[in-house]
Structure 1
Amino acid sequence: MGIIYNDSTKTFHLQAKDTSYIMQVVRSGYLAHLYWGKKIREANMPRKLQFLDRAFSPNPEPADRTFSLDTLPQEYPAYGNTDFRTPAYQVQFENGTTVSDLRYQSHRIFKGKPKLEGLPATYIENENEAESLEIVLHDAVSSLKAVLLYTVYENFNVITRSVRFENEGEQTIKLLRALSMNVDFFHADYELLHLSGAWARERHIERRPLVVGTQSIESRRGASSHQHNPFIALLQKGAGEYHGEVYGFSLVYSGNFLAQVEVDQYKTARVSLGINPFDFTWLLEPGESFQTPEVVMVYSANGLNDMSNTYHKLYRTRLARGQYRDQERPILINNWEATYFHFNEEKILQIAEAGKELGIELFVLDDGWFGKRDNDKSSLGDWFVDKNKLPNGMESLARKVRSMGMQFGLWFEPEMISVDSELYRRHPDWCLHVPNRSRSEGRNQLILDYSRREVCDYVIKAVSDILKSAPISYVKWDMNRHMTEIGSSALPPERQRETAHRYMLGLYRVMEEITSAFPHVLFESCSGGGGRFDPGILYYMPQTWTSDNTDAVSRLKIQYGTSLVYPISAMGAHVSAVPNHQVHRVTSLDIRGNVAMSGNFGYELDLTKLTEQEKEKVKEQVAFYKEIRHLVQYGDFYRILSPFEGNETAWMFVSEDKSEAFVAYFRVLAEPNAPLSFLRLKGLDPNKNYQLLENGEVYGGDELMYVGLNIPQLQGDYVSCVWRLKAC
């Protein structure tokens, strides 16, 4: 690892674990991109930049018709001075013009990794884990400065990037576009991969070849969204799970974003990612600065699974924080699909008692415990206990659950406000709204204006008061609608387009203060399931409710797609009742359990209604998961068969020392007179022998990976089987 600057050639060579990234200052201060890929020893660059006289590509230095920014591979391109491709940033000056010209001014190389003010980002625990480079670009006319920050990690094939804008001039500057990174690839012979979907079918894998023009994904919803995840990857054509070059780009941000690839007339590809410039501006007064979110860039020479394992380990150990980062997560029972809003203390205690008898470790009380919350039409913002449902209060209920030997958890939706609430009647201006316009509702609720400090202060106090009032060890933090009428009564007209980003800064402040004040609490984020499953939230809350859809078959694609970027320790996965409440499918308790045990395991049904046979099965599943959860939550994950490519799915988890493994296989539909099939395992030590704990048979790791295991003859639709292996 290291960052090397060659003063004679003006090149920067960034070296992470097994990857190199090379830039060069050319001509009169333009920062050019030269290489990103497999690690190389020195940056002599036999493939040098080539300059040609290209028609209709103007020249910033008129005397040299071979030099144009329109054909130069750049690190952080501008608008208006000969590059017709999409810029990484754009500004507007007081005279109305939008042309700027950032040139290299200086740089510094230093150990460690700085924090980003007000924003989540990956981190280090000692300065020797990483090295950073700041490159200062300067616009001589306006005195605008852009500080490009690059960090390379010693133990990961990771380069992180962000940008800080500083106004060192005497006039106000308006940022119109402030993306976090740009990479200009020398060709476009790649495929674009991204994760898209909708509520209840999040993060499905989409893959297609790049074509001339712009291809993009984005969110304009005020959240990273169910529809598109803030991640894209470029794949060498034909790359698969275990072969081929892959370049991953993941934005550590939870709001509106844009990820795009532009293929130009010469078949080069420009990748850029950051805050969505749609409906965004930011005023920089003299002396002020603006920090963009971080992008985590991962290179893999060995396919998608290697990229995924890099993201998993980095996000699990250097993005997630707190007591539960490295701690096994409890098995929970959540009452939502068992009772919805209709419960009392007696019913809650009955479900908790049933859970205790089955070995479950945590009871979670979901929506409906506060205000006058008998449906979804009231009381959001009124964070006080409904004594009609819980006459003895929250502390009494929590202590009764804890006396059973279980932990107690609670649901909140702290970012929302109901029109029918005491809070709204006191502060109708505390929601996002635009003057003289109607206020659209989603799920009968409005969104609190987190760009306002007094609103954030209220939420911090209200949530903290509840958490102090009872022995609560888990919080589910929900967010059930997207933004409309995005405006703030606290901001002047010229700053209204800052509202959505200021909201995110306020949200991050609220989460930071609450999670820091209650380090013993396990926080799980949620947004109608996986509507805000992004790295920004993982910085504050180490796990996320993966999807409101708990159907086992649907979850195969959802969890498989999510695993491309996010660690298994971040995925909440529950067994629910059948017919499933989202798709009305009937599946066995076996497959529901095996899918859910491939994440942070729990149940979301009425345990008091189970038959004796079902209770025995649940008890077996709970006991089994306790034996494998260290593997599932903290082992290395390997995808074997994709639900996006066929009727079967398979994945496995291997301990870091390769001494044990857990394998899961799923088949959706039965096939008449089907061919025999087998499963080649991944990630084992070829020089070790492994015992199959189900039958005691012993095989070499090389046999299991290269020859494979027979898949048993399974009967019917929606079936699964699992294996446990231990080195012997």
Structure 2
Amino acid sequence: MPIKELSRFSSHDTEFVYFINEDQTVGFSLYPRAKKNELVEHRKNINDLATCVPIIKVFGGDWPAYKVHDLVQIKCVGEVSPGAFSAGSSMRSTESNLLFQDQRVEGNRVITILKHKYFDLEVEHKLEFNHENDYVLLSSKVINRGETEVKLENVSSFCLDGLSPFQQDDGEGAYYFHRFLSTWSAEGKHEVRSAEDCNFERSWSGHGARTMRYGQVGSMPVKDYFPFIGLEDRQHQVMWGAQLAQPGSWQMEFYRRGDFVSLSGGQGDREHAHWLKNLKPNESFATPQAIVSTCCGGIEDLQNRLVQYQLRELESLPQSEQDLPIVFNDWCTTWGHPSEDNILKIADALAGSHVKYLVMDDGWFNDEPGCQQGLGDWNVSKTIYPNGFKNLCLKLQEKGFIPGIWFELENCTEGSELFHREELLLKVDGFVLQRGTRRFLDFRKQEVHDYLAEKVIKTLKNNHISYIKTDYNDTIGMGCDGAESLGEGLRQHLAGVQAFYRRMREEIPDLVIEVCSSGGHRLEPSFMDLASMGGFSDSHEGTDIPIIAANTAMQIAMRKNQIWAVLREDDNVSRVYYSMAATFMGRMCLSGDLFLLNVQQKQIMQAGQEMYLQIKKSIPQGYIRIVRHGVSSYLHPKGYQIFARYAKESAYLVIHSFENAPSSIEYELEGNWKIGQVFKQDHINLSLKAKVLSLSGVEDYKGLVIELMPQL
């Protein structure tokens, strides 16, 4: 079936192409303009393949090499389910069910209107771009224009088709699939596999669907994978990829029925995430936003472009955040047992340091010692602050700190009165939803918002606290009662959660919000929009911290990537350098036995802070490169890692050696630089010649930071 170009748009380095067939099916693709000369005319059919010739002799006709996949993937209750053996694996349309109606341009927005073949639905696809950004935004909206209710089972935020336009056939050996795996305290492990390794070659006739749907179900959007999908045409060195701004269940999907690979993603569908949405007449549903990009190069080039989305409104951050202050958090010092005495002791130990935020973690509300017990009532302890909690916060301010406290505001645990207020809690099948010792507040209820305004916002205001660490330590799972499906209940609940986050910022404009969810389970764009920082991981003291920190620096803006440096009194010199150096891949957060450190340990800690102040100008804007040799296991890392941050007029390297590290390492720099300040042990020697940095004297488990200055 003939396919022609419908329209074309351009940003500074990317071409966006809409194409349409005779049946009025519209598809969408994009590619780097720098590769325009490598575009090829793709074969139209596979009639001459040895596997097809015999059957064509019997049945006749053309066997197309590919088909156009709808701009928006949609499935409604009552329409024919997808075929091609995809039931249970995909709810994408195997045949088109949307027809082109109109397309209009509104400034930097392209709105494409589609009509459903079988229901009175209008589907609006939106592309948002400008001539400066390295990414575009894609989203969809479904509107019921009819007089009867329609039930949605699947709606995509984006669907990229016709990949790769640089291949004239099925691209043997060209395609590689990229994902980022995530588990607790081991976030962001990069996975790349070829199409052949994934058994994702086209079927001999193009009939059988190849599909790989993955995602996350529940209220921890980064529990299993980061909400990301990536495709590489390695033969032409081009990447395509997308991130989803989604706080709950989501899915991504690689799909193939012919020569081309298609990528799609959005709200988790009915099969994957138990989601069903009823649209009454004149009602609409808008999908989560997808951040999409394409580029020449590899996975780091793609990620450098996607995370720029999180930097678009920096002026809205609190004034204190403009200077990227250093954080101290007492979690790995007091382990949930803070008191007026030990907090002031910590403050005195930090005198003369460059720490600005002093955060009191779990336990500030407990009259009796205990970790994460009685969450939900949020009554300030009457016993551990003999002079009052407000007085302690004021003393911290007098000492030059901005005080912060920890809340797990969405949950409650045994031992609290709130635990038994079932009218405020989420339910499943009529029973209170409980995971382990945790129950969950229902943020669709105004009473919950009012309760937390009194307990959280008022506590912050009354005690002059302008830093909040919001933790979240279990997942709801597939959803909750109160909507047409469990998945829709979850979606509505999380919309309420994020509304409360916005309310906190509105009522306390200078509030610094650190989003933590057992470390890194909420490191996705919609939560990062609400936060000044995100906790990178719950790996507090592992030797894997530099590896995880580099991973998360590829997923969120580095200025929001808060990394632990937990220092212990029995740490040797190498360990102090190792821990401090890891924080240079984002925001420095100190903890541990600070008031027990010896003179040499304190000197290294102070030197590390001063080095951080020197290089932090490179953190807000720039791009990263990561080199790893021999690194496979996180618990028992071997080899070494080089993390490079390049900015316009500054750069730096963070280098960590692991077990069985080589004694010498070489790294070729991008651009012309000279060595500036260094943070390292004396026995490690550096030299730079013809852009090649050489290190000697390297031993196992060392950490160092090297400032790079422009070579004029």
TM-score normalised to structure 1 length:
0.83
C-alpha change, 1:439 and 1:664, in structure 2 (3 Å) is closer
Q: 1:196 aligns to what?
A: 181
3-state DSSP of counterpart to 1:589: helix
2:604 maps to a residue whose letter is: K
1:678 aligns with 2:666: yes
Deviations 1:614-651 (A, max 9, x none): 12221222222122222234443333446747611112
Distance in 1 (alpha carbons) for counterparts of 2:144 and 2:692? 61
- Which amino acid counterpart does residue 207 of structure 1 have in structure 2? V
User: Where does residue 76 of structure 1 map in the other structure?
Assistant: 72
Given that residues 100 and 114 in structure 2 are in contact (C-alpha distance below 8 angstroms), is that contact kept between their aligned partners in structure 1? Answer: yes
* Contact 2:364 2:380 (8 Å CA) reproduced: yes
> What are the Cα deviations for residues 279-327 of structure 1, in whole angstroms up to 9, with x where unaligned?
1111111111111001111111122332232223332235894236971
Aligned counterpart, 1:475: 468
Paired residue for 1:307? 302
Is this contact kept in 2: 1:90–1:178, CA < 8 A?
A: no
1:578 deviation in Å?
Answer: 4.7
List aligned pairs for 1:61-140, cutoff 5 A.
71-78=67-74, 84=83, 101-111=97-107, 131-139=108-116
Name the residue aligned to 1:714: 698
Corresponding residue for residue 131 of structure 2:
154
Match of 2:10 among 15, 22, 39: 15
Instruction: Give the 3 Å change call, closer, same or farther, for CA 601–549 of structure 1 in structure 2.
Output: same
Equivalent position of 2:500 in the other structure: 510
Tell me the secondary structure at the aligned position of residue 654 of structure 2.
strand
For the Cα contact (< 8 Å) 1:339–1:606, is it kept in 2? no
Does the residue aligned with 1:249 lie in a helix, a strand or coil?
A: strand
Question: Partner of 2:325 in structure 1?
Answer: 330
The offset of 1:164, in angstroms, is 0.5
Please tell me whether the aligned partners of residues 411 and 478 of structure 1 are also in contact (alpha carbons under 8 angstroms).
Answer: yes
1:53 positional shift? 8.2
Query: Offset of 1:342 from its aligned partner?
Result: 2.0
Distance 1:358 1:162 in 2: 46
Q: State the SS of the aligned residue for 2:342.
A: helix
Residue identity matched to 1:588? R
Give the SS at the match of 2:157: strand
The 5 A counterparts of 1:16-415 are: 16-33=11-28, 35-39=29-33, 47=41, 50=44, 71-78=67-74, 84=83, 101-111=97-107, 131-139=108-116, 141-184=118-161, 185-186=163-164, 187=170, 189-210=174-195, 211-212=199-200, 213-237=210-234, 244-264=237-257, 266-277=258-269, 278-318=273-313, 321-323=316-318, 327-370=322-365, 372=367, 374-376=369-371, 378-415=373-410
Aligned to 1:617: 604
Structure 1 position 52, deviation (Å): 7.4
Instruction: State the alpha-carbon separation in 1 of the partners of residues 231 and 315 from structure 2.
Output: 26
Cα distance, 1:711–1:22 mapped onto 2, change above 3 Å: same
CA contact (8 A) 2:217 2:477 kept: no
Query: Which string of whole-angstrom CA distances, capped at 9 and with x for unpartnered residues, describes residues 581-606 of structure 1?
Result: xxx99961011111122220021113
Report the Cα distance in structure 1 between the residues aligned to 2:314 and 2:142, rounded to whole angstroms: 24
CA deviation vs aligned residue, 1:71-96 (integer Å, no higher than 9, x gap): 3344224556797466999799xxxx
Give the secondary structure class of the aligned counterpart of 2:156.
Answer: strand
The one-letter amino acid paired with 1:169 is G
Compared CA separation, residues 175 and 90, structure 1 to 2 (3 A): farther
- Assess if the C-alpha contact under 8 Å between 1:77 and 1:89 holds in 2: no
CA separation in 2, counterparts of 1:195 and 1:40?
A: 27
- Contact 1:89/1:178, CA 8 A, preserved across alignment: no
What is the CA distance between 1:152 and its match in structure 2?
A: 1.9
The answer for the alignment partner of 2:682 in structure 1 is none
Distance 1:377 1:652, change over 3 A: closer
**Alpha-carbon distance, 1:725 to partner:** 2.6
CA deviations over 1:438-460 (Å, ceiling 9, x no partner): 74333x21121223333234324
1:690 to 669, 674, 692: 674
Residue 458 (structure 1) aligns with: 451
Native 8 Å contact 1:161 1:296 kept in 2: yes
Distance 2:564 2:517 in 1: 16
Per-residue deviation, 1:436:
5.2
TM-score normalised by the chain length of structure 2: 0.85
Residue deviations 1:63-119 (CA, integer Å, cap 9, x gap) = x96598983344224556797466999799xxxxx99932111121011xxxxxxxx
Deviation at residue 516 of structure 1 after TM alignment? 2.5
- Kept after mapping to 2: 8 A contact 1:321/1:542: no
Aligned to 1:422: 417
Shift of 1:157: 2.9
> Aligned partner of 2:218: which letter?
R
Structure 1 match to 2:439 = 446
- For the 8 Å contact 1:320–1:538, the answer to whether it is kept is no
- CA offsets 1:352-394 (integer angstroms, 9 cap, x no match): 1111233322210001112557324632221221111223333
Match of 2:55 in 1: none
Aligned length: 660
User: Amino acid of the residue matched to residue 174 of structure 1?
Assistant: K
Instruction: Read off the aligned partner of 1:276 and give its amino acid letter.
Output: G
Give 3-state SS (helix, strand or coil) of 1:295's partner.
strand
2:668 maps to a residue whose letter is: R
**1:423–1:605 Cα change, 3 Å:** same
1:538-549 residue pairs with structure 2 within 5 A? 538-549=528-539
Aligned counterparts of 1:485 and 1:190: Cα–Cα separation in 2: 33
Identify the residue that residue 642 of structure 2 maps to in structure 1. Answer: 650
Cα separation, 2, equivalents of 1:352 and 1:109: 57
- Uncovered stretches (5+) of structure 1, i.e. residues with no partner: 1-7, 57-63, 93-97, 112-130, 696-702
Relative distance call for 1:9 and 1:99 in structure 2 (3 A) is closer
* Residue identity opposite 1:538 in structure 2: M
User: Structure 1 vs Structure 2: percent identity of aligned residues?
Assistant: 20
Aligned pairs for 1:557-636 within 5 A: 557-578=547-568, 588-636=575-623
Residue identity opposite 1:167 in structure 2: N
What CA distance in whole angstroms lies between the structure 1 residues aligned with 2:90 and 2:532? 32
In structure 2, what residue type is equivalent to 1:632? I
Equivalent residues of 2:569, 2:596 under 8 A apart: no
Aligned-residue CA RMSD (Å): 3.5
CA distance in 2, matches of 1:300, 1:292: 25
In the TM superposition, residue 220 of structure 1 has moved relative to its aligned partner by 1.3
The answer on whether the counterparts of 1:162 and 1:181 sit within 8 Å (CA) in structure 2 is: yes
1:656-698: per-residue Cα shift (whole Å, max 9, x none)? 2x2x322222110245xx564322122x3x4xx6353459xxx
Equivalent position SS for 2:113: strand
Q: Which residue of 1 aligns with 2:56?
A: none
